[in-house]
Amino acid sequence: MQTPNWQRPDRRQLTWWESTYIPTLWGGVLGTSKHFFRNLNLHILHAFGLCRDIPAAATFQYPEQLRPLAMRARTRHRLTKREDGSPRCVACMMCETVCPARCIHITAAEHPDPNIEKYPAEFILNLGQCVYCGFCVEVCPEDAIRMDTGKLNIAEYSRGNMIYDKKRLMED
């Protein structure tokens, strides 16, 4: 059988001193201890109100301290409104057609204004199924649906609550 032509890692032989692992063990303890004492001293200084601009931890304290969102981050959807507060949507079914997760369901109805043909009598978006691809936003000819609410912490106690209707989508 032919040996496969793997690229062998370039490993050199360990010297005797290295093979006792003492230098690496010492280096490891030194490394973690350096972090420990640096952070401990910073925490103590912070408690006295000093050196507050040097952080003692690399983490974000999530519910109180949120990470900044990217400009083009796709967050929870909203329906934009006309000046009179009615939805901008004309129920053209583009988003419902393009949605790969099939989570949008629109029921169209005739709009009283003859300049606008239709409006969504019902606009149901099931966030439990949504994959946040953003196709609905891309495809909308009227700029009626956007994903710019900045809301990411969508958690509910039931699946039913994940289904957003027109009213909830227009709240933001």
Q: Report the interface residues with other proteins, using CB under 8 A.
A: 25, 28-29, 31-33, 35-36, 39-40, 43, 56-59, 61
Minimum CB–partner distance for residue 18 and other proteins (Å): 16
Cα–Cα distance, 162 to 6 (Å, whole number): 51
58 vs 71, which CB is nearer to other proteins? Answer: 58
Q: Which CB sits closer to other proteins, 24 or 97?
A: 24
- Pick 33 or 107: Cβ nearer other proteins: 33
Minimum CB separation from other proteins for residue 35, in Å?
5
Give the CA distances from residue 70 to residues 17, 74, 126, 132, 133, in Å, rounded to whole numbers and listed in that order.
Answer: 50, 9, 24, 15, 16
State the minimum distance, in angstroms, from the CB of residue 28 to other proteins.
5
For the bound state, the minimum distance from the C-beta of residue 155 to other proteins, rounded and expressed in Å, comes to: 17
Q: First CA to last CA across the chain, in angstroms? A: 67
The least CB distance from residue 130 to other proteins, in Å, is 30
Give the residue with the Cβ less far from other proteins, 44 or 73. 44
Nearer to other proteins among residue 30 and residue 155 (C-beta): 30
In terms of Cα–Cα distance, which of 167, 169, 119 is closest to 142?
119
Dihedral sign for Cα 12, 18, 20, 23, please: negative
Cα separation values, 59 from 22, 47, 62, 66, 141, Å:
32, 18, 9, 11, 41
Residues 123, 77: Cα–Cα separation, whole Å = 12
List, in sequence order, every residue forming a beta bridge with 110; answer none if it has no partner: 118
